Amino acid sequence: MRTDSGYRARDPDLTVVRGEGARHRGVHPARLARLAQGVGEAFVELLAVLAPVECVCCGSEDTALCGACARRLRLLCTRPFRAEGQAPALLTVDGAVILPVVAGGHYRDELAQALLSFKHLGQGRLASVLAPALGKAIRAAVGDGVGICLVPVPSSNAAYRRRGFSPVHLLLGRLWRIDALPGLHMTDALKKAPGRGNGQKGLGRGERARRVRGSMTVRLFRKGSLEGRACVIVDDVLTTGATLAEAARAVSAAGGVVCGAVVLAATRPPAGSEPPVGGPDTPPTPTQTKNKLRKDELPVAMN
C-alpha cells in the first residue's frame, strides 16, 4: 500500500521545481542602498570618535542639533511674520513703514542658539536646518513672484576673516543648490566700503545708524544688473534695522527697486533703541493703514 508521501512525491503539481532566480545586471539597488547606509553610519561613528560633537542646544552627544531641538527650531519658524515694527530704523517718527521686513522666527530659544553656533562656533552642519527656515521666510515674502533679485547683506571684513565665510551667502547658496527658490535670482552685489565695517554689538539705535551709514556700496561690475529690477535684501538677524536700511540705500543708489527685506530671525532692539513716539509696540498687522503695501512692495504673506 502506497503512502500519501509516495503519491505526493510523484505528483507533478506538488513537486518543487528548482531553478535559477532572476538575474540582474550589476548590483541590486537594495544592496547598494544598504551598503551606502552602512558606510555612512560607519563614517558618522568614526567622526564622532575623532571629532566628538554635541547638540548646541541641549548638549546631547554625537549630533550638532538633536532631533528634538531641530523640531522645536522648525516650530519657531512655522509662521513667518512682519517684523519692521520692532526695528526703529525702519520706521518714521509717526510710525510709517520705511522698509517692510519678513522674519522667519523670533530670535530666541533654539533658533537663537543654533544661529549663534552657526555664525561664531563654526557649526556649518546647522545650515541644513537654518537654510529651509530662511527659504520659507523668503517664499512668504515674495509669494509667487518671479525674477526678483535676492541681495544678501555682506559680512564685515573682520567677521569674514575670522569666520572664513558669510552666513547669509552660505544659507542662500544651500537653497540654490537644492533649487528651493525657483524663479528667484541671487545677486551678490553689495560689499563693505573700504575702511568701514566695525561691529555693532551692544550699540544703541543712534550709534548703529552712525556706524553703518555709508558702509556699503554696490560692486562695480554688478551695478548694471540691479538697475530697474525688483530687489529684496536678505540678512540673518534684525535688531534696529540700521543694517537693512543701509543696504537698501546702496541698492537704490545703483538703480535697484527695493521692495522689502527678509531675515532669518528678528530680535527686540537693544536698550536705548525704543521705537519712535507713536510707533507700534508690536509687529504691524495688515489691517493697519500705515502698513498697507505700495505698488512697488512685495506681496508679503501674513499668516
Domains along the chain?
Answer: 78-291 (3.40.50)
- Specify the pLDDT at position 241: 92
Sign of CA dihedral 111, 135, 140, 208: positive
- Specify the pLDDT at position 294: 45
Interatomic CA distance for residues 20 and 39, integer angstroms: 31
- Specify the pLDDT at position 26: 52
Contacts of 114 (CB under 8 A, 6+ apart): 56, 57, 65, 69, 73, 123, 126, 129, 130
Interatomic CA distance for residues 244 and 261, integer angstroms: 7
- Specify the pLDDT at position 47: 61
Residue 237 main-chain phi, psi, to 5 deg: -130, 140
User: What pLDDT digit, counting tens, does each position of 229-248 carry?
Assistant: 999 999 999 999 999 999 99
| DSSP string computed for 5-29 | HHHHHH-TTTPPPP-PPPP-SSS-H
**Which residue type is seen at 203?**
L
- Specify the pLDDT at position 262: 97
- Specify the pLDDT at position 64: 85
| DSSP string computed for 129-175 | HHHHHHHHHHHHHHTT--SPEEEEPPPPHHHHHHHSS-HHHHHHHHH
List the chain residues with pLDDT less than 50: 197, 272-296, 301-303
Q: How far apart, in Å, are the Cα atoms of 299 and each of 28, 55, 102, 109?
A: 49, 37, 11, 29
- Specify the pLDDT at position 36: 80
Q: How many other CB atoms are found less than 10 A from the CB of residue 288?
A: 13
- Specify the pLDDT at position 280: 39
User: What pLDDT digit, counting tens, does each position of 127-143 carry?
Assistant: 999 999 999 999 999 99
